[in-house]
Structure 1
Amino acid sequence: MKKLIYYTLAIAATALSMTSCLGDLDTVPLNETDKTGETAYQNIQDFQRGLAYIYGSFSLSSQNDPGKADINVDDAGQSEFIRQIVVLNEMSTDAMKCIWGDSYITETQTASWTAGGNAALVATYTRGLITVTRANEFLTRATGREMDGLPGLIAEARFLRAYAYFVLMDLYGNPPFATEENIGGGSLPTQIGRPALFAWIESELKALADPNSAMPNVGEVPYPRATKGSAQALLARLYLNAEVYTGTPRWEDARTAAEKVIGMGYGLCSNYAHLFLQDNGENPDAQKEMIFAIGYDSNLMQSWGGTTHLVSGNVHDAASQAIAKELGFGDNTFMSPERWNGYHIPNEYVEANFEMKNVSWGGTGIGYDREGSDKRAFFCNTGCEKEFDLKVAETGWRCWKFNSMDSQNQLHLDNNFSSADFPVIRLAEMYLIYAEAQARLDNGITTDAKALGYIKQLRDRAGLDTPASIDLDFILKERACELMMEGHRRTDLIRYGYFTSMSFPWPYKGGVPTGAVEIPAYRTIFPLLDNDVAENSNLTQNPGY
């Protein structure tokens, strides 16, 4: 569907089957037909393919078959990077639950994970480091080369590596650290500590966001490739969480960085729903809000992760049909080609955050008045009981924020894979970062006109009124509604001090049905994988594991 350079190049990137690991950039290929990094990069087209190869780290489970993984896992679909970022950041909180019996799901939603690793921890850790490895190889081969267009590709590769390290730092605290400058000849990476990694990421992003850098300006490369706006926006997110990562708050820097992004020409999509539909990558109104997205295509970039698991994982047959009927598709139509009947949302989360009208339980409809409710609410409770049960799918709400529709109200049911792109960073997040940073600078509550103006734009789009002042808890609720299922909730609750606190319960927090329990502080960071620590004497496991 998408006419993008990195879709077409990602297919050709199979020629770049380099088998490097973090500790050795000159690994001999496993197959005689595979190229090494030294022989793969000969001209600018090779470097374009190499960049596509790095982008593919985020969206693919293998280069050949979505049902086969290129890392050692039991289920290929559960090994995709974006899928497990969402799982770790949403399912470990109040925002998302699942009744499947997979060990990674049970451990994630009851805060019982271990350093032995599970599918979610293995996927994000391994694929994050694969991205770093591919970027390091790319940058090593680009050093000293002079080709038209290469400086911009180098800058994009640096950004993708910085984003991978940001995710690793957020999830794992102190991961192994390797760049093209400090790894080679078989040496193993060391750790530099979370504050030092923060400083390195900050330095990279500041250099890339600089007006004089080779990083493409906004609009200079095809959507959804990264630009200076992407670097500046990730910098704003980095500063927002600086106190968690380093012990020192950076609220002014977060506000300044967000404001710079806002001034780069992005705009809010007029229809919130269109941001998550099958043609969001072709819809100019949706594109203008996307600052950095990971692209998917049901024909060219297939994965059981990405947005496919968000489209199919949430609903069962009855809910899918009830939603389709609500939207005018008739009685015998499904909203998605597959219904995995797994993910659901506790009613406590919906009640605490969303302004919903005429909620009812026990009927055959979706269970509330969509027209009178927050337009960011995409829920259905047909066939479900209000009282949440972790082992029973038919409890709580189903969420259909990601679905098989397009912006022309057409359903795409002829392919089990989703073509909806995943919004890693949107303009709306920048509005929320600005407002939160301002509120924190104003001692927890603000009447600042600019901050209120940004919140008003989001609330207007959602069909809601805006109060005369906003406090931190109000902003957290706005984030819960605006960014639901986009991989932010865990980081938000940690920043607010709620993730481990007994005063902020949710169903099955810490494995307790009422959630009235304090989670140990060390669980704000996931463990490094035991086998990585065992194989690399330079690594020290995170405290508590």
Structure 2
Amino acid sequence: MKKSFKFISYFFLFILGVNMTLISCTGDLDVTPDDDDEFLSEAFFQDPASYKKVLAKLYAGLYVGGNDGDGAADIAGLGGDFSSYLRLLFVTQELPTDEAIIAWADGTLPTLNAQTWSPANEFLEGTFSRAFYHISVANEFLRQTSDDKLSARGVDANLKAEIATFRAEARFLRAFSYYNLMDLFGNVPITTENDPVGFFYPEQKTRAEVFAYVESELKDIDNTLAASKTNEYGRVDKTAAKFLLAQVYLNARVYTGTARFNEATVLLKAIIDNSGYTFANIPYAHLFSADNNRNGAQSEVIFPIVSDGNAIRATGAGMSFIMHAAIGGSLDAAARGMDGGWQGLRTRREFVNLFPDTNAIADKRGTFYTDGQTLDIANVGIFTNGFAVTKYINRNANGSAAQRNDIPDIDFPMFRLSDAYLMYAECAVRGATGADIATSVGYINRLRTRANAQQIAASNLTLDFIIDERGRELFWECHRRTDLIRFGKFTGGSKIWQWKGGSVNGSATDAFRDLMPIPARNIQANPTLKQNPGY
């Protein structure tokens, strides 16, 4: 199932040569087809298979940065490699935290290591624009699949029913982008398929208004998304929407000022007890190997961003970036299943210290490469300063080779059941109705048994333990910045790590940096946007 949809996604993306353009990054957030391509023309939709192909563009857009992988970029100003959705999520969610640091000095990238960014940061601009580009593609797909359009084209009832599910998936992916925008930037515009195509300035909404919109969308599409575990691998279902809504509720106090842990608990119980997704009782390392779509890991992955060494040409995007950038020094690229390394990503001293040892004996999740690497990072620009991370591997669980060594096969686990266990436990500790401490201990110990880590008791289950355990279980899965903010440990001085604030041993940072700035170029494109406080 995975391969069929994956090939539709990527081969369609490359062969068709879609050329969709944004008139302005924020002036017109809707997609219009380039006249030369007429991608969304009536003639194109005469083929019943076209609807699934456009949906595939939305899914493929989570990985690649342009229509031929790293080449023709969707976002002006950043190459297709730098501007892929997953890569930008990693850059914004991991680099400003204790979990990762990057050696490269490209443009304003070093400021993300230190929490010293400004509105002129091109990577924040890329993140803002990438999410809105994704929204614009979803909006246009929804315009082209309205009841009126389908009836005018004579689409039969069976295909209409299938398209109804496609539309729900497009709305999920749009909500996912709005969630990321709300989380990173706060007050952002909202555009939908009901807005006009053409130049206009969409109204900036408050963070609470964006929250309400995402909540309403995720609730509404529950009626039309595929039942849990019935969709093709790589496509979302009802459980993915419940999971995203649980994340929204888990962070509600940050986004709106009002806690919603009770509502999160209801959703998490449904996911854990009734979704059909099950804990993958396999070695932890197999969750992140090249065959994680079929080695047992897939039982707990609710929303993967799929990768394929043969079906995708994006050397610098998605998992290819994460793999290549994490290899350097004496770390053997071939042993990681790759053709070489770019000497960029490592982790910081304080994150390493969350584990009982540095050789993954007392906790199998502590996958650090230490040969020739120093624990301390005296110089950010030297790869061998800081331990390397070997969580992901482009080899199959049995040690055999992946399809190729330049682009990995590893699917990125955006949502997985283990995170639902951790969210449930956090809700319990925060006093949510219906969340039980004893049950939470059982969930945590299931994770720790798989990791060969020491079991815990109810007395160990504190908020400090949970934020540390989330790091140990979910590091480099694009959650850390959001988690640290929710626990009050991202900015300020309650948690310090090397190079936070720009100094070698770390320093407190200003609380306004819990929000990223609205990028300066996007404000130039839409002068009605107001900058976040502090910038």
TM-score (norm: length of structure 1):
0.89
Q: Deviation of residue 15 (structure 1)? A: 5.8
Contact (CA 8 Å) 2:349, 2:497: kept in 1 or not? no
Identity of aligned residues (%): 33
Q: Which runs of 5+ in 2 are unaligned?
A: 152-159
Question: Structure 1 403/242 Cα, relative in aligned 2: closer, same or farther at 3 Å?
Answer: same
Contact (CA 8 Å) 2:5, 2:234: kept in 1 or not? no
1:307-456 alignment, distance < 5 Å: 307-320=319-332, 335-351=337-353, 353-356=354-357, 359=358, 368=359, 370=360, 372-389=361-378, 390-412=380-402, 414-441=404-431, 448-456=437-445
Matched with 1:362 is none
Tell whether 2:205 aligns with 1:192: yes
Distance (Å, rounded) in 2 between the aligned partners of 1:83 and 1:185: 29
1:31-430 alignment, distance < 5 Å: 31=36, 33-36=37-40, 39-118=43-122, 120-144=123-147, 145=150, 147-209=160-222, 213-262=223-272, 263-270=274-281, 271-283=283-295, 285-303=296-314, 304-320=316-332, 335-351=337-353, 353-356=354-357, 359=358, 368=359, 370=360, 372-389=361-378, 390-412=380-402, 414-430=404-420
Deviates more, 1:463-472 or 1:156-165: 463-472
Question: Structure 1 442/204 Cα, relative in aligned 2: closer, same or farther at 3 Å?
Answer: closer
SS in 2 for 1:299: coil
Q: Deviation of residue 299 (structure 1)? A: 1.5
Q: Deviation of residue 74 (structure 1)? A: 4.7
Structure 1 residue ranges (4+ consecutive) displaced by more than 4 angstroms after TM superposition: none
Deviates more, 1:73-82 or 1:8-17: 8-17
Distance (Å, rounded) in 1 between the aligned partners of 2:98 and 2:376: 14
Deviates more, 1:12-21 or 1:174-183: 12-21
Matched with 2:451 is 462
Contact (CA 8 Å) 2:229, 2:275: kept in 1 or not? no
Contact (CA 8 Å) 1:54, 1:134: kept in 2 or not? yes
Matched with 1:19 is 21
Contact (CA 8 Å) 2:403, 2:409: kept in 1 or not? no
SS in 1 for 2:141: helix
Question: Structure 1 151/468 Cα, relative in aligned 2: closer, same or farther at 3 Å?
Answer: same
Deviates more, 1:106-115 or 1:334-343: 334-343
Distance (Å, rounded) in 2 between the aligned partners of 1:81 and 1:98: 18
Q: Deviation of residue 38 (structure 1)? A: 5.1
Q: Deviation of residue 253 (structure 1)? A: 1.0
Q: Supply the RMSD in Å over aligned alpha carbons.
A: 2.2
Matched with 1:509 is 500
Counterpart AA for 2:164: P
Contact (CA 8 Å) 2:373, 2:385: kept in 1 or not? yes
Distance (Å, rounded) in 1 between the aligned partners of 2:404 and 2:188: 41
Contact (CA 8 Å) 1:152, 1:214: kept in 2 or not? yes
Counterpart AA for 1:409: G
Question: Structure 1 334/307 Cα, relative in aligned 2: closer, same or farther at 3 Å?
Answer: closer
Question: Structure 1 28/202 Cα, relative in aligned 2: closer, same or farther at 3 Å?
Answer: closer
Residues 87-122 of structure 1 deviation map (CA, whole Å, 9 limit, x = unaligned):
11111011101111123321101112111232x213
Question: Structure 1 16/66 Cα, relative in aligned 2: closer, same or farther at 3 Å?
Answer: closer
Contact (CA 8 Å) 1:73, 1:79: kept in 2 or not? no
Q: Report the number of matched residues.
A: 513
Q: Deviation of residue 68 (structure 1)? A: 4.4
Distance (Å, rounded) in 2 between the aligned partners of 1:152 and 1:246: 31
Distance (Å, rounded) in 1 between the aligned partners of 2:29 and 2:322: 36
Residues 333-383 of structure 1 deviation map (CA, whole Å, 9 limit, x = unaligned):
5653211111111222111x1122xx5xxxxxxxx3x3x321111111101
Distance (Å, rounded) in 1 between the aligned partners of 2:31 and 2:484: 42
SS in 2 for 1:391: coil
Question: Structure 1 309/24 Cα, relative in aligned 2: closer, same or farther at 3 Å?
Answer: closer
Q: Deviation of residue 6 (structure 1)? A: 4.4
Residues 184-243 of structure 1 deviation map (CA, whole Å, 9 limit, x = unaligned):
35332111110010011011111223xxx1101122221110100100000111111000
Distance (Å, rounded) in 1 between the aligned partners of 2:397 and 2:115: 38
SS in 2 for 1:503: coil
Question: Structure 1 37/205 Cα, relative in aligned 2: closer, same or farther at 3 Å?
Answer: farther
Distance (Å, rounded) in 2 between the aligned partners of 1:185 and 1:62: 22
Deviates more, 1:175-184 or 1:156-165: 175-184
Q: Which runs of 5+ in 1 are unaligned?
A: 325-332, 360-367
Contact (CA 8 Å) 1:173, 1:194: kept in 2 or not? yes
Q: Deviation of residue 258 (structure 1)? A: 1.1
Contact (CA 8 Å) 2:190, 2:202: kept in 1 or not? yes
Matched with 2:34 is 29
TM-score (norm: length of structure 2):
0.91
Q: 2:522 aligns with which of 526, 532, 535?
A: 532
Q: Deviation of residue 35 (structure 1)? A: 2.6
Counterpart AA for 2:366: A
Question: Structure 1 334/140 Cα, relative in aligned 2: closer, same or farther at 3 Å?
Answer: closer
Question: Structure 1 153/309 Cα, relative in aligned 2: closer, same or farther at 3 Å?
Answer: same
Contact (CA 8 Å) 1:307, 1:418: kept in 2 or not? yes
Residues 407-438 of structure 1 deviation map (CA, whole Å, 9 limit, x = unaligned):
12113384311111111101011000000011
Question: Structure 1 155/176 Cα, relative in aligned 2: closer, same or farther at 3 Å?
Answer: same
Distance (Å, rounded) in 1 between the aligned partners of 2:348 and 2:88: 20
Deviates more, 1:67-76 or 1:498-507: 67-76
Contact (CA 8 Å) 1:320, 1:335: kept in 2 or not? no
Distance (Å, rounded) in 2 between the aligned partners of 1:228 and 1:214: 8
